[in-house]
Structure 1
Amino acid sequence: MTEAWEAAVEAQIHGAVQRGEFDNLPGMGKPIPGRGMPYDESWWIKSFLEREALPSDLLLPTPLQLRRRIEQVPDEVRDLPTEQSVRDFVGALNAQIVAWLRNPTGPQVVVRPVNADEVVRRWRDERRPSGDPSGRPAATPAPPSSTTRRPRRGWRLPWRRHRQD
């Protein structure tokens, strides 16, 4: 059965060659890519990333991808128009970090959430005109918080008497 099938396939290939269906194919006369190089087990992944123009960061484990995104936060928020959009961006990144921290996979790499206030402070500093000596930000400030915090008093031990002088 297989011999008959192979003979039929060979006959079709031979007929296509005779009709010239294999003439002028793309890459005809060019060397086969990778020929003469040592065998690489992940050749198909590399060729896929190159062909689809995808970044190689996709191959990194999740914690390393998160660390790389944390390093790129200043560049990512630089062109955002408002403080709220900066906070939204950092919030979305922190949500991904917290999701990974709840169920870590891959190598154990330290990944901490990003401090949104620090990112906003740097964002404001970059947007401040260079000739403005005042500490006022160029962008509109964030709306005031609805909760106000009272100043913290020193710790008191409940079992000690406090002198009233």
Structure 2
Amino acid sequence: MTERKPPGVDFESWVDRQIRTAQERGDFDDLPGTGKPLPGLRGPRDEHWWLKDYLRREGVSAGALLPESLLLRKELERLPEAVRELRTEHEVREHVRVLNRRIAEWMRMPTGPRVPVGLADADEVTERWRAERGAVTPATEPEAVEPPVRRGWFSRSRRRRRRT
């Protein structure tokens, strides 16, 4: 804005004068979108046109707007495609473990629509991954090391008493 509205001047005439002088200077020539229809006015009336346009401009999928239960359900359905590119069985099981943890967290405090979402079976997903991938030799897979079983103080003291 180049100047302020002088006091006592009719506001509408002042705005009209500002627009007319800007047109005469050529300030509105070659603006982006010149000659294109306004986004909300094309096609059938859609009250969410602005949201769809924003998502398209920002490159965000509409899935980001879904509630957690529907997102988890979609992830479960797309799980075979998601693990297809993983290299090892350990990575597949880790991916399923992370998804199951998110599902369990949602089950503790469900929000949004009540959509039935169950835990993924890691063994089933791994078997399907193996079948699609072809027989991968277990030698190439890192071995899962079981942590040693820790016994509480009660079980240790019980063993000592039995020995005596």
Give the 5 Å matches for 1:32-47.
32-35=38-41, 37-47=43-53
Whether contact under 8 Å (1:128, 1:138) holds in the other structure is no
Q: Does 1:67 align with 2:73?
A: yes
Q: Deviations over 1:40-88 (max 9, x none)?
A: 2211111112222222222322211111100111111111111221122
Q: Deviations over 1:77-109 (max 9, x none)?
A: 111111221122111111211111111111111
TM-score, length basis structure 1: 0.72
Whether contact under 8 Å (1:90, 1:116) holds in the other structure is yes
Give the 5 Å matches for 1:1-165.
4-35=10-41, 37-129=43-135, 139-140=140-141, 142-143=143-144, 145-146=146-147
Task: Quote how far apart the aligned CAs of 1:138 are.
Answer: 7.7
- Cα distance in 2 for partners of 1:56, 1:114 equals 24
Whether contact under 8 Å (1:94, 1:113) holds in the other structure is yes
Which ranges of structure 2 fall in alignment gaps of 5 or more residues?
1-6, 150-164
Task: Quote how far apart the aligned CAs of 1:20 are.
Answer: 0.4
Q: Which has the higher helix share?
A: 2
RMSD, matched Cα: 2.7
Q: State the one-letter code of the partner of 1:119.
A: V
Q: State the one-letter code of the partner of 1:118.
A: E
Q: What SS is found at the alignment partner of 1:119? A: helix
Identity of aligned residues (%): 45
- Cα distance in 1 for partners of 2:47, 2:55 equals 15
Task: Quote how far apart the aligned CAs of 1:37 are.
Answer: 3.4
Task: Quote how far apart the aligned CAs of 1:111 are.
Answer: 0.6
Whether contact under 8 Å (1:124, 1:138) holds in the other structure is no
- Cα distance in 2 for partners of 1:107, 1:3 equals 57
Which ranges of structure 1 fall in alignment gaps of 5 or more residues?
149-165
TM-score, length basis structure 2: 0.72
- Cα distance in 1 for partners of 2:63, 2:140 equals 33
